[in-house]
Chain A
Amino acid sequence: MANKISFKINGEAISMDVQPHWTLLRLIREALGLTGTKEGCGEGECGSCTVLLNGKPINSCLVLAMDVDGGAVTTIEGLADGEKLHPLQTAFVEKGAIQCGFCTPGMILAAKGLLDRQPSPSEEEIRLEMAGNLCRCTGYAKIIEAIQTAAQQLKGGADD
């Protein structure tokens, strides 16, 4: 019953057998051992399992593994460049945007999806984009601030 798919995970091409009922989340966590992607609800409501599929943020619990055939997936493990964190990661660390950290990987990838598409989002746009990612610890204030800081950095105007 297994089906062979080929796709890119964090820049690396792989081919593997997957079960037809597997979600992308299950593939990432259980078959690939990339546990940075979290499951908070399994129903597409909390955003903890957000990854980038072909550059767009998606809830990996709602996508079938088979559907990523030929695609490119980025998880939180694919963001840092060796020791060097991605500016979003640095901003989350420095602005106090991380408390328990469970929603953090999904938040960072959702934010990356936004900034890749819209490098200068308004606060309103950030809040709207992040509304699909739930956090129970921070009240979102420092998450929004971190995304604004990272946006500045990524544009090269690192004046913060």
Chain B
Amino acid sequence: MIELRKKIKGHIPKQKILGKSVQKIDAREKATGEAKFGGDIYLPGMLFGKILRSRFSHAKILNIDISKAEKLPGVKAVVTWKDAPDIQIGLYTDDWRFFAKDKVRYRGDVVAAVAATDLDIASEALELIQVDWEELPAVFDPLEAMQPEAPIVHEEVPDNIANRRKIRKGNPDKVFASSSLVFEDTFKTQMVEHCSIETHVAVAQFDHSDKLTIWSSTQAPFNNRLILGRGLQMPMNKLRIITTNVGGAFGGKQDLMVEPSCALLAKKAGRPVRIATDREEEFIASTVRHPYILTYKTAVDQQGKILARKINIVQDLGAYNDLGEGVLRYAAIMASGPYNIDHVWVDGVAVYTNQQVGGVMRGVGVNQTTFAGESQIDMIAKEIKMDPFEFRLKNAYKNGDITANGQQLKGIGFRETLKAVAEQSDYKSRRKRKNHGFGLACTIYTSGAGGRRDYSSAVVRMNEDGTVALMVGVPDVGQGCRTTLSQICAQELGVNYEDVWVDQPDTDHSPVDLFGANASRVTYITGNAVKSAAAEAKKLLLEAASNKWEAAIQDLLIVNNQIYVKGVSKPLGSIKELVTEMHRPLGQTIVTSGTYHTPGEPMDEETGQGNVIPIYTFATQLAELEVDPETGKVNVLNIWSANDVGKAVNPINVEGQVEGGIQMGLGFALSEEIVREQGCTLNASFSDYKMFTSIDMPRIIPIIVEMPEPLGPYGARGVAESTAIPTAGAIANAVANALGIRVKELPLSPERVLAALKKKPEM
């Protein structure tokens, strides 16, 4: 009887894939070691390449003699600038060459590359390349580089200033003139590196159809194709980039660190070539996070309302612009923090020096501004005797507020992150011990490329058994987007998660995505493109179902691969049935594409105003730590992190982002720094460059806040970078809380903490 009732009155199941921590699509092959990374590609006849880099920070190249290297047995090709088209290229500014021609500008510049039958021979051959140099005076400090007599890094930019960025909202100077509570502080941040455990690696093959195929561990294959195509003067149909598994990226794997050398060597040798950088090269030649000098001037009233903020940013670009212009743009837009302030001016300059080149690194300039801005927030709170939490809450952005760049906020959950951290940690009621403290920091960031239009596309193809091939142009770099995009696709289409497969992008077959795994954009931008492609496919399936079963489209549902008529629990049939019948004998394949783009209003050059941020994201972190006053060593105990993700597509992935982002944030706060002297890196190894290990890590409490994002797929927004941004500010504030000292320069190494303790006046 019960059985029968179930049959008649049963429920149509619900499609519940989104929001579930499904198993990652690539986890099993990674757990077994089967997953192929760039370094695991072995092609028949493959040669091994090595790159010769500059031995000087600034020098003219008078002559390069490769004849001895070429004669070494086993060497199959040696290339220099003479083998590449004679043009300059770059991501924002065409100030770079694949191979240095007339001069070198830092110790990572590529001078030559060698391919040999064996890596030992390639290394030996590098020693045989004779370069005649004429050393030039170099400049290593951005403030010195702006002086009139400073050495010139690029002749076409005689003042060494590559970019400027302004934000103009209100008039802070007027407010300062009439305020009694004005604070001015200068902060400095250091050079750090991404430290993906996999170094940069690519394999190139050039065949007689003039087709170049590159297997690359890249986070932006289509961007690489664009720049490489320009630099090699090759059309896109002859240049194919196949993305391998990527062993960590974090912003560091979109620069063409090895691909140009690899391609030119493969062409010259007529054999495939693999180049993998070694760890030392990563530390001396890959892109880094730009060091910043930041001055914050802030006025508040007696009640703790922030009245005005004026911020000056000096960004050390290093030798080339690379993505530096974008980094300065993000930093300027976000510099005033997540607070509603009527008067904000920001002036930023990006300055060429003979240092290692800055790129993007998980936070894109906002890690630096957040450390400075949030440190000063706590300094002001202390001065005006206001609780740092209440001070932040009083000024925190809410819906309807207008940001520094003139954009109105909608659907944000910032205050919720602040409150969630305070509630879950209950830190205010917890007893504070000696040398023990708590520190808060908040951040505002973007999801999607800011200051320009962001766009992406996706393709859904139904296989004839009803399973789905999803194609996207963004790589999974470990953040899990192959999984989350499959979830979005399955949720929208009505199929099971296991029935969707999406691979790493291949520029010959995947839909174009110019930006890649960047800017916390994939869930939001590519997610929307996937959703749209899946919706199109679903429409076609429903049309076919409507014809087959003679039912109105609006009465049909697709859930878990089955087609239902609304209100009837017995399915009409399966997607498989439908698709198979379309394919045989009609030859029909459902292939749909979906796109998404942001409005992409231009940013006014003089005022920085415009709707240029696709989606604003917010996060709050609280650090609890203790400091040993004898050694200055900081021991972090707990970090609470609340991130407003809109909707967690895969909660375990979100937690993983938070935990990993904090590992990077803690290194920036406390232990990581590329130490340089006269343009030389002094600590180019993991034993001298200190990342947080498993014993150093504190307990992390990820708090997922879900305030649905009106523009996001199923309300989701990106989270990757906002996890790493607030940590340094929270740590600096907690150290201040523990010891009553203020360190304004990163990292807060034991030496710096001790020095600050010594300077501290007796309480």
Known: A39-B39, A137-B478. A85 touches B197 (CB 8 A): no
Tell me the minimal C-beta distance from B662 to chain A in angstroms.
6
Whether A100 contacts B246 in the complex (CB less than 8 A), given A38-B37, A40-B198, comes out as yes
On whether the beta carbons of A131 and B694 are closer than 8 Å, the reply is yes
Name the A residues within 8 Å of B425 (CB-CB).
none
Q: Check A7 for interface membership: any CB of B closer than 8 A.
A: no
Complex CA distance for A21 and B123, rounded to whole angstroms? 15
Give the contacting residue for A38; candidates B31, B39, B42, B653; CB below 8 A. Answer: B39
Please tell me if the beta carbons of A45 and B198 are within 8 angstroms of each other in the complex.
no
Whether B33 pairs with A40 at a CB distance below 8 angstroms is no
Q: Which residue, of B194, B196, B663, B700, has the highest number of chain A Cβ atoms within 10 A?
A: B663
Which partner residue on chain B sits nearest A75 by CB separation? B33
Total A residues in contact with B, Cβ cutoff 8 Å: 54
A98, A102, A142: the one within 8 Å of B197 (CB) = A102
Q: Give the distance to chain A from B666, nearest Cβ to Cβ, in Å.
A: 9
Residues of A within 8 A of B28 (CB): 85, 89, 93
> Could you tell me if A101 and B39 are in contact, using CB atoms closer than 8 angstroms?
no
B33:A142 contact, CB within 8 angstroms: no
Kindly supply a per-residue 1/0 record for chain B positions 188-204, scoring 1 wherever the CB is within 8 Å of any chain A CB and 0 otherwise.
Answer: 00000011111100000
Name the segment of B162-170, B406-414, B626-634, B683-691 touching the other chain. Answer: B683-691
Stretch from B19-27, B50-58, B133-141 contacting the other chain = B19-27
**Contact residues, A59-88 vs B (CB, 8 A):** 75-77, 79-80, 85
- B571 interface residue (CB < 8 Å to A): no
B35 interfacial contact with A, CB 8 Å: yes
Instruction: State how many angstroms separate the Cβ of A106 from the closest Cβ of chain B.
Output: 9
Contact B37 A102, beta carbon cutoff 8 Å: yes
Q: How far is the CB of B718 from chain A (nearest CB, A)?
A: 16
A151 close to chain B: CB less than 8 A: no
Is A136 a contact of B694 with CB atoms below 8 Å? no
| CA gap between A98 and B697 in the complex, in Å | 17
Q: Is the interface of A mostly helix, strand, loop or mixed?
A: loop
Q: B655 contacts the other chain (Cβ, under 8 Å)?
A: yes
Closest to B23 in A: A93
Which one, A41, A43, A85, contacts B32 given CB within 8 A?
Answer: A85
Is residue B221 contacting chain A, with contact meaning CB distance below 8 A? no
CB contact under 8 A between A127 and B686, given known A37-B33, A136-B194, A139-B659: no
Are A99 and B480 closer than 8 Å at their CB atoms? yes
Report if A54 contacts B (CB, 8 A).
no
Q: Does B656 contact A (CB under 8 A)?
A: yes
B237 on interface, CB distance cutoff 8 Å: no
Question: Does A33 belong to the interface (CB within 8 Å)?
Answer: yes
With an 8 A cutoff between CB atoms, is A115 at the interface?
no
* Tally of contact residues, B, Cβ under 8 A: 59
Complex-state Cα separation, A85 to B30, whole angstroms: 12
| B residues near A79, Cβ cutoff 8 Å | 32
In angstroms, Cα B694 to Cα A135, docked, is 9
- Name the one of A21, A85, A99, A134 contacting B478, with C-beta atoms under 8 angstroms: A99
- In Å, the complex CA distance between A21 and B119 comes to 13
Contact between A100 and B477, CB atoms less than 8 A apart: yes
Q: Does A119 contact B (CB under 8 A)?
A: no
1/0 contact trace for A118-155 toward B, CB 8 Å?
A: 00000000111011111111111111100000000000
Asked if A92 and B659 sit within 8 Å, CB to CB, the answer is no
CB distance from B686 to the nearest CB of A (A): 4
Report yes or no: B32 in contact with A100, Cβ–Cβ below 8 A.
no
Does A58 make an interface contact (CB < 8 A)? no
B663 and A140 form a contact (CB under 8 A):
yes
Contacts A/B (CB < 8 Å), 18 sampled:
A40-B279, A45-B686, A46-B197, A80-B32, A90-B31, A92-B27, A96-B21, A100-B246, A100-B477, A100-B478, A101-B27, A101-B245, A131-B693, A131-B694, A136-B195, A136-B663, A139-B663, A140-B659
Name A residues whose Cβ lies closer than 8 Å to a Cβ of B: 21, 33-43, 45-46, 48, 75-77, 79-80, 85, 89-90, 92-94, 96, 98-105, 108, 126-128, 130-144
Q: Which residues of B contact A (CB under 8 A)?
A: 21, 23-24, 26-28, 30-37, 39-40, 42, 120, 194-199, 245-250, 276, 278-279, 477-480, 652-653, 655-656, 658-664, 685-687, 691-697, 700
Extra contacts, 12 of them, besides A41-B686, A79-B32, A100-B477 (Cβ < 8 A), are A35-B36, A35-B40, A45-B279, A98-B24, A98-B26, A99-B660, A136-B663, A138-B656, A140-B663, A142-B656, A143-B694, A144-B694
